[in-house]
Structure 1
Amino acid sequence: MILEDTICAISTAPGAGAIAVLRLAGPKAFNITENVFRPAAKNKSITEQAPNTVHFGTIYDGENDIDEVVITLFKSPKSFTGDDIVEISCHGAVFIQQKILQLLTDKGARLAKPGEFTQRSFLNGKMDLSQAEAVADLIAARSEAARRVALKQMKGGFSNELINLRSKLLEFTSLIELELDFSEEDVEFADRSQLIDLVLEIEHLLKKLIDSFSLGNAIKNGIPVAIVGHTNAGKSTLLNALLQEERALVSDVHGTTRDVIEDVMNIQGITFRFIDTAGIRNTIDKVESMGIALTYNKIKQASIIVLMMDAQDEDAKIHQAVSDVKRHMNSDKQQLIVVVNKTDLVDSEILEKRFSKKAFRELTGTDSVVPLSAKMHIHLDRLTSELLKTMDTGAIDNDEVVVTNARHYEALKNALEGIQRTLEGLQNGISGDFLSQDIREVLHYLGEITGQISTDEVLGNIFKNFCIGK
């Protein structure tokens, strides 16, 4: 990347709107603006205006006026990228946007690449790499929880944790390496007991950050909820009731759903990704069998499995269905919720007796049961409450750091392996040069997250997924 270039892009969403914003950043941003903008108040040139000020005027090309606009000036180094920046707010017609963009490139700017403004901010030291990635997460946030986590990371919450860890490790590794210069004199500058305490503290924090990824990943991408069960149990009816629209085809005919149907729903700031699956039964229909195979795959992939049963089903059938689903679950972290549907067709006393938590636990080994009627929309709120209970959002509520990025997760796991080798070495009394090597490996992986250690390939992969104009 050539930081001496002046770049430009449309920063608002594609298409027509009331207004659009174009961004111009780089050493020639003010000069280019001077050549295309005629201020209504002609008291000073653009370069002489105070920073962080707004000016009304006209964008023109030669003798032709293009649009009346408002421009905002940000002077280096106090700007998003650290460069001189001009933001042009114009009317939102696509033709006007493109006309101004073409004019800026004709005057010496070039079109920005995806994420180039944020990448410049990183390269100019305005933010570290984890904060830059949080910018993209904030733009893509689909729920309140995702917004809160991304905003905290963008403000440096995660970075501060890592900076604190690295500074402590750097202090100790420098003392250990100093010992190597005096190896013949057998001196010890780094207190090994203090170093063990520090390593244990860092190991605990790394494990906490790694464990938070399951929550962070679910918040960022939506929590997958597989709705499974026998044919005609009411799976599609439940999906439609939750989404409040006719998303899935409902019929009394067995085997109606033969493929996977997905949609998302936001419940109290958490995004759930509901997956309606083919009903489980013995069949010779080839297409339906393929759909049932997909159902079992979704059971393995989902964080939450909602097993739909008919309230009129016999105990043996319910017990067998729960056992069958548990057998296909592949993780202790997966949650199973049994929904007993069509309660409007069963006497309330019988319902209470059969499906109390105590009775259900004795029957199936699980007490997560929700009796409801999807068709009549009875007790759907109980299901949404049960879904929220499966997610421990305490870390978000307590404003703790939550890891949402797979790249960070991998780097943290590698750092944990390094810190555990350091601990083992300390306990076994290995020499300082080996300890220093292990600690420097931990520092390397922590530096990868913040961008203190990075490669062009890593940066390219990160910023190529940004939208143009950001």
Structure 2
Amino acid sequence: MATYLRRVDDTIVALATPQGVGAIAVIRLSGKEAIQMANRVFFGKNLEVQASHTIHFGTIRDGDRIIDEVLVSLFVAPHSFTKENVVEISTHGSSYIVNQVLRLLVRQGARPAEPGEFTQRAFLNGQFDLAQAEAVADLIHSDSETSHQAALHQMRGGFSSDIRELREKLIHFASMIELELDFTEEDVEFASRDDLRLLVEKLLRVVEQLISSFDLGNVIKNGVPTVIAGKPNAGKSTLLNALLNEEKALVSDIAGTTRDSIEDEITLGGVVFRFIDTAGLRETTDTIEAMGVSRTREKMKSASLILYLFDLGDTDLVEINRDLNKLENIGVPFIKVANKLDKGNPQFITILKEAHPDTLFISAGKKENLEELKEKILEQVNLDKFRTGNTVVTNIRHFDSLTRTRESLLDVLGGLDQEVSNDFLAMDIRRSLHYLGEITGEITTDDLLANIFSKFCIGK
């Protein structure tokens, strides 16, 4: 494993709770001298002789001056998050108190921690692998039930276990083929090529499943951008307000009221959907409105889902069919939503149901059939695979490494088909092992670690 450029032999300190005034704040120390440093400014029990996982009441003092009454939690190495000595000081949440304590500990010799440095030390000290370390950040930022479950599964080693199992099976064959290279003149075969083919084909199936799960994983982690699109006055803003249950968007009978997109989020079935109310789609000579229409089309192209909303009292079948053809050309999944059910002509509704039986009929203004719409929206996200406990890939870095692993495994199969020499076969297997190792951290570079841990918050 490559070593990371940050020093790991000193003691670091940082605020572990969010910045700002709150009821309490937690200041975290980690390093060989963490307990001694805390003990020099803590007045209460002698922290250096206390047991791990104990909490002690006392005061933090700068000389004779009392800064605050605190609770100090002790975690003695290796029984801590970082596997180093860790002290967590719970103070009152005043920013003045926090700054005073931090400055005092820095004067004692502690170094201000950099982003993600506590988790980085946990990784370097073998507390968990790199995929689990990344899951810590995902867990902190999870804002829905599904994103929380996915991050927790990964942090507890579910994904890493799958990757390690794949890698260990491949390592065995790699070592046998490498051994054959030492006995080239004897023409011996330690690794059965038929068995290797069966293994690589099995690994490919697993890797393909993990790669295919990324679309769902991306939805779970980042939410579903959902555009509400349609003509002016179709009721898009009214629908957004009804879904959010608040007056987020301005509603008016005047066509073209919405000139730019308005966004907000709701959670359906444990998945975050980011709804985007857009400018009405129509030809216009109004320069500002035309810019809004152009942005609407761009939003539709980048969306994961489109709610095509039309007014039952102001749209004919020809116009609907024309709009649907345009939507199909965009290539983004969409739901047909007929709005203002209370104003629709019964005969036209019957014709529309026959022509487009999958249309959902609602009244956004009266909040009619909105639950059915929510269920239809949630159906667009296939959570069955996630709910059965299968591993779901949520990280773009892991997706990229798995994609490269697949390419390397396909090269192994190609080499077997062409009966290439052991040198080339071993090279392709080593590449597969390399990319799998990148995921869990068996293979790392300083740049990779710097990129990952720089995205963490300070204090974690």
Matched, 1:35 2:36: no
> Residue in 2 aligned with 1:263?
264
Deviation at residue 350 of structure 1 after TM alignment = 3.7
* Alpha-carbon distance in structure 2 between the residues aligned to 1:394 and 1:134: 22
Partner of residue 22 from structure 2, selected from 7, 17, 21: 17
Matched, 1:372 2:362: yes
Q: What amino acid sits opposite 1:101 in the alignment?
A: L
Q: The residue matched to 1:264 in structure 2 has which SS?
A: strand
Deviation at residue 354 of structure 1 after TM alignment = 3.3
> Residue in 2 aligned with 1:465?
455
> Residue in 1 aligned with 2:444?
454
- Indicate conservation of the 8 Å contact 1:258/1:288, yes or no: yes
Q: The residue matched to 1:384 in structure 2 has which SS?
A: helix
> Residue in 1 aligned with 2:350?
353
Q: The residue matched to 2:325 in structure 1 has which SS?
A: helix
Partner of residue 445 from structure 1, selected from 432, 435, 439: 435
> Residue in 1 aligned with 2:321?
319
Q: What amino acid sits opposite 2:368 in the alignment?
A: I
Q: What amino acid sits opposite 2:390 in the alignment?
A: E
Please give the TM-score of this superposition, normalised by the length of structure 1: 0.94
* Alpha-carbon distance in structure 1 between the residues aligned to 2:222 and 2:355: 33
Encode CA deviations 1:349-379: one digit per residue, 9 max, x unaligned. 54762343xx143xxxxx5421000111111
Q: Which moved more, 1:246-255 or 1:371-380?
A: 246-255
Deviation at residue 36 of structure 1 after TM alignment = 0.6
* Alpha-carbon distance in structure 2 between the residues aligned to 1:428 and 1:369: 53
* Alpha-carbon distance in structure 1 between the residues aligned to 2:381 and 2:414: 35
> Residue in 1 aligned with 2:414?
424
> Residue in 2 aligned with 1:54?
55
> Residue in 2 aligned with 1:412?
402
Q: The residue matched to 1:57 in structure 2 has which SS?
A: strand
> Residue in 2 aligned with 1:245?
246
- Indicate conservation of the 8 Å contact 2:230/2:308, yes or no: yes
- Indicate conservation of the 8 Å contact 1:7/1:25, yes or no: yes
Query: Which aligned pairs between 1:177-256 and structure 2 lie closer than 5 A?
Result: 177-256=178-257
Identity percentage of aligned residues: 49
* Alpha-carbon distance in structure 1 between the residues aligned to 2:60 and 2:66: 6
Q: The residue matched to 1:19 in structure 2 has which SS?
A: strand
Q: The residue matched to 1:296 in structure 2 has which SS?
A: helix
Q: Which moved more, 1:47-56 or 1:153-162?
A: 47-56
> How big is the alpha-carbon RMSD for the aligned residues of Structure 1 and Structure 2?
1.3
Deviation at residue 465 of structure 1 after TM alignment = 1.1
Query: Which aligned pairs between 1:135-174 and structure 2 lie closer than 5 A?
Result: 135-174=136-175
- Indicate conservation of the 8 Å contact 2:317/2:352, yes or no: no
Q: What amino acid sits opposite 2:416 in the alignment?
A: L
* Alpha-carbon distance in structure 1 between the residues aligned to 2:355 and 2:135: 44
| Residue correspondences, number | 454
- Indicate conservation of the 8 Å contact 2:114/2:458, yes or no: yes
- Indicate conservation of the 8 Å contact 1:37/1:59, yes or no: yes
Q: What amino acid sits opposite 2:459 in the alignment?
A: G
Structure 1 unaligned regions, length at least 5: 362-366
- Indicate conservation of the 8 Å contact 1:418/1:441, yes or no: yes
Q: The residue matched to 1:35 in structure 2 has which SS?
A: helix
* Alpha-carbon distance in structure 1 between the residues aligned to 2:77 and 2:276: 49
Query: Which aligned pairs between 1:106-145 and structure 2 lie closer than 5 A?
Result: 106-145=107-146
> Residue in 2 aligned with 1:364?
none
Q: What amino acid sits opposite 2:364 in the alignment?
A: A
- Indicate conservation of the 8 Å contact 1:307/1:337, yes or no: yes
Q: What amino acid sits opposite 2:397 in the alignment?
A: R
Matched, 1:86 2:87: yes
Please give the TM-score of this superposition, normalised by the length of structure 2: 0.96
Encode CA deviations 1:379-427: one digit per residue, 9 max, x unaligned. 1111100011111011221121111111111111111100111111112
Encode CA deviations 1:311-368: one digit per residue, 9 max, x unaligned. 1221111111111221223xxxx32101100001125x54762343xx143xxxxx54
- Indicate conservation of the 8 Å contact 1:6/1:27, yes or no: yes
Q: The residue matched to 2:171 in structure 1 has which SS?
A: helix
Encode CA deviations 1:241-286: one digit per residue, 9 max, x unaligned. 1111111121111111121211111112100011111111111222
* Alpha-carbon distance in structure 1 between the residues aligned to 2:344 and 2:359: 16
* Alpha-carbon distance in structure 1 between the residues aligned to 2:358 and 2:22: 48
Q: The residue matched to 1:65 in structure 2 has which SS?
A: strand
Query: Which aligned pairs between 1:383-422 and structure 2 lie closer than 5 A?
Result: 383-422=373-412
Encode CA deviations 1:99-144: one digit per residue, 9 max, x unaligned. 1111111111011111110011111111111111110010000100
Q: The residue matched to 1:445 in structure 2 has which SS?
A: helix
Encode CA deviations 1:426-458: one digit per residue, 9 max, x unaligned. 122222211110010011111111111111111
- Indicate conservation of the 8 Å contact 1:336/1:368, yes or no: no
Q: What amino acid sits opposite 1:274 in the alignment?
A: F
* Alpha-carbon distance in structure 2 between the residues aligned to 1:182 and 1:273: 61
- Indicate conservation of the 8 Å contact 1:71/1:86, yes or no: yes
Q: What amino acid sits opposite 2:448 in the alignment?
A: V
Q: The residue matched to 1:256 in structure 2 has which SS?
A: coil
* Alpha-carbon distance in structure 1 between the residues aligned to 2:375 and 2:32: 54
